[in-house]
Amino acid sequence: MLQRIGIVGGTGKFGRGIGARLAIAGVSVALASRDAARGREAGAALAEECGGEVTGGDASVLDEVDAVILAVPFDGLEANLQAVAGHVEDRIVVSAVNPMAFDDIGPYPVTVPEGSAAALVADRLAGARVVSAFHSVASRTLGELERPMDDDVPVFGDIDEDVAAVVGLIDRIDGCRGVAAGPLRLSHVAESLTPVLISVNRRYRAHVGFAFTRLSTD
Ligand SMILES: NC(=O)c1ccc[n+]([C@@H]2O[C@H](COP(=O)([O-])OP(=O)(O)OC[C@H]3O[C@@H](n4cnc5c(N)ncnc54)[C@H](OP(=O)(O)O)[C@@H]3O)[C@@H](O)[C@H]2O)c1
């Protein structure tokens, strides 16, 4: 069971939100930042807010965790991968990164030469075991801690035990269900779904989540 989770970009909107939900679920969380002081402050603030076991610092906090969630913008992904490369050897690294941009029409997926953000991560972090998840889990929904989540979370990966471990982690979050959704090469589908969800939110003034209907995983 994954019990200690590091979050790269844990100072950001998604990182703080998923960190809070995991901490409330009893998971130990370490928020990693490019700036150690910012990471420590974010960790202390989150610990106070949600009462769980949360710390923070620079990439060295990743040395003590069981798995790492990548929660940085696609624009900053390469730089962050260089910073964490020495701290994630033979570790599960979960990419939550959505390569997307906005123009006058709205959000749209950015084409990644490697095929997906997760595939890029796997290419750059050759020694890590890359899994892909969380793309459709909105930071705003995560941050409303008084409300349970209501989200299915597709999980992609090429090593069955690693996918099962991440599904198990997601299942610990109240209202979330992890779903093993296929190999890593399908990650681009979930990464590209996020602009669609944002478009729906804009059109209907909603905060939608994603769900597989008629799926029993019990
Ligand atoms: N927001 C959501 O609802 C959501 C949902 C699912 C998935 N995601 C994905 O999660 C990732 C993070 O999203 P977010 O909304 O949390 O982003 P964010 O708040 O803009 O950034 C997260 C953290 O990444 C670091 N960062 C920001 N810009 C950077 C840059 N140019 N270069 C390097 N590092 C940078 C910062 O941490 P430090 O300065 O402390 O290092 C920042 O606090 C994205 O890939 C997004 O697609 C987001």
* Structural domain spans, the chain: 4-204
Q: Is 108 in the pocket of ligand 1 (CB under 6 A)?
A: no
If one residue of 7, 11, 13, 61 were mutated to test the ligand 1 pocket, choosing by the most ligand atoms within 8 A of its CB, it would be 13
Please give the number of the atom of ligand 1 that sits closest to the Cα of 15: 16
In the prediction, which pLDDT does 218 show? 83
In the prediction, which pLDDT does 8 show? 98
- Ligand 1 centroid–CA 76 distance in Å is 8
In terms of residues, how long is the chain? 218
pTM for this model (two decimals): 0.98
Structure tokens of 172?
Answer: 């610990």
Q: What are the residues facing 69 on neighbouring strands?
A: 7, 94
In the prediction, which pLDDT does 80 show? 97
Q: Is 97 in the pocket of ligand 1 (CB under 6 A)?
A: yes
Name residues of the chain where pLDDT drops below 50. Answer: none
* Rounded CA separation 74/117 (Å): 7
Q: What are the residues facing 30 on neighbouring strands?
A: 6, 55
* Rounded CA separation 160/182 (Å): 9
If one residue of 40, 60, 72 were mutated to test the ligand 1 pocket, choosing by the most ligand atoms within 8 A of its CB, it would be 72
Instruction: Name the CATH topology of 4-204.
Output: Rossmann fold (3.40.50)
Q: Is 79 in the pocket of ligand 1 (CB under 6 A)?
A: yes
